[in-house]
Amino acid sequence: MPPAKLDPIDRKILAELQADGRMTNVELSRRVGISAPPCLRRVRALEETGFIEGYHARVNTRQLGFEVAVFAMVSLRSQAESDLNAFEDRVRSWPLVRECHMLNGEIDFILKCVAPDLSTFQRFLTEDLVSAPNVAGVKTSLVIRETKWEPGVPFDVLEARATSD
Amino acid sequence: MPPAKLDPIDRKILAELQADGRMTNVELSRRVGISAPPCLRRVRALEETGFIEGYHARVNTRQLGFEVAVFAMVSLRSQAESDLNAFEDRVRSWPLVRECHMLNGEIDFILKCVAPDLSTFQRFLTEDLVSAPNVAGVKTSLVIRETKWEPGVPFDVLEARATSD
DNA sequence: CGCTTCCGCGCAACATCATTGCATTGTCGC
DNA sequence: GCGACAATGCAATGATGTTGCGCGGAAGCG
């Protein structure tokens, strides 16, 4: 059931849980201005309708020993749907690849990768990624630092649109 | 207190909370094989020591009306630290930019952006990003689809390393 | 070796929270 | 206005989060 209308309270709930996914329902209900039971029912509904896809702890990858993060821009020889799917399946089997986005233009995929050290990544790059079938070229860039990271969606922009409807 | 040693139970806790950040402590303790109180104390310690940086609900951006996701590769004219910081500060003020990573090589920054529609993004691109001070060039690629998204770190790789120490 | 110290666990008790049933209220269509 | 529906808040119950405390195993020392 993808189609569903969100009121300002729903959007506030999403914004709050996006910022703090472990907030108690009591605290959440207080912040959005309704009592706990209907608040919980709304959260459940947002989960069921797919607005909330999941909850995750964000961990410090570097502190956990993954010193290296890399963006890999991949070009394929064939963009036939079956070849794209084959590549995607392969990507899903590589634990060092955390994200994979299919793009338009020169670059077909952008992969966000992590690794304990550079040599581990280099080995993955040459032995797995570059030598995978249908891969025409890979350009990589090391992440020096992460300047901004905000989960999901800018709800202030969403509010501005919703209220102007 | 960044330096701290993790045992297999800590790593299991991190893996579980990374996969499901709203799991109850009772369920978590059951899965990692200890009782609830020490489990909660471990979670608190992981939060305090920075291994856990936060918890977030993952929302369906498209369903929320952000039909467009774009990666923008930005090159600057000057890479002096003060100029980098100035650009980063500007980036933080743009709600449509959700992530910003500083890279090595040709491209200085990669930005993940979202927008309700293409024209909104185009306006942001030309009026804000391209026309920002010190920006030499911007290449953008539309995200066609997101093939893989896993939060954080591959704990199976981490386990393999930890046990071989 | 045995003793001591320290750390982390589990138990038990309490406080808080999640969850359900139900009566009430407000809204929309008629 | 009037009835049907949806959503709210209240109250009660069960589950969970949280703290204090005693116990036991491991490491360090005599």
What's the Å distance between residue A155 CA and nucleotide C21 C1'?
Answer: 35
Residues of chain A in contact with residue B104, where contact means CB-CB under 8 angstroms, are 141-142, 144
- CATH number for the B68-142 domain, one of 3.30.70.980, 3.40.50.300, 1.10.3720.10, 3.30.70.920? 3.30.70.920
Query: What is the nearest nucleotide to A24, using C1' and CA?
Result: C17
Q: pLDDT digit string (tens) for B86-111?
A: 999 999 999 999 999 999 999 999 99
In terms of Cβ atoms closer than 10 Å to its own Cβ (0-12, 13-18, 19+), residue A56 is buried
Number of C-beta neighbours around residue B72 at 10 A: 22
Kindly give the parts of chain B with pLDDT less than 70.
1-4, 163-165
| pLDDT of the residue at B69 | 98
Verify if strand C has an atom below 7 Å from the CB of B37.
Answer: yes
Number of C-beta neighbours around residue B49 at 10 A: 16
Pairwise CB contact (< 8 Å): A146 & B54: no
Give the domain ranges of chain A: 8-57, 68-142
> Strand D: which positions are within 7 A of a protein CB?
7-11, 15-20
Percent of chain B with pLDDT over 70: 95
- CATH number for the B8-57 domain, one of 1.10.10.10, 1.10.240.10, 1.10.3720.10, 1.10.760.10? 1.10.10.10
Residue B40: which of B27, B29, B31 has the closest Cα? Answer: B29
Contact yes or no for A101/B132 (Cβ under 8 A): no
Taking chain A (165 residues) in runs of 10, the rounded mean pLDDT of each run is 75 97 97 96 96 97 96 97 97 98 96 97 98 97 97 89 63
> How close is the nearest chain B Cα to the Cα of A47, in Å?
9
Contact yes or no for B74/B125 (Cβ under 8 A): no
| pLDDT of the residue at A163 | 65
Q: Mutate which of B6, B42, B150, B158 to disrupt the A interface (most A C-beta within 10 Å)?
A: B150
Average pLDDT, chain B: 94
Residue of A nearest to B101 (CA): A146
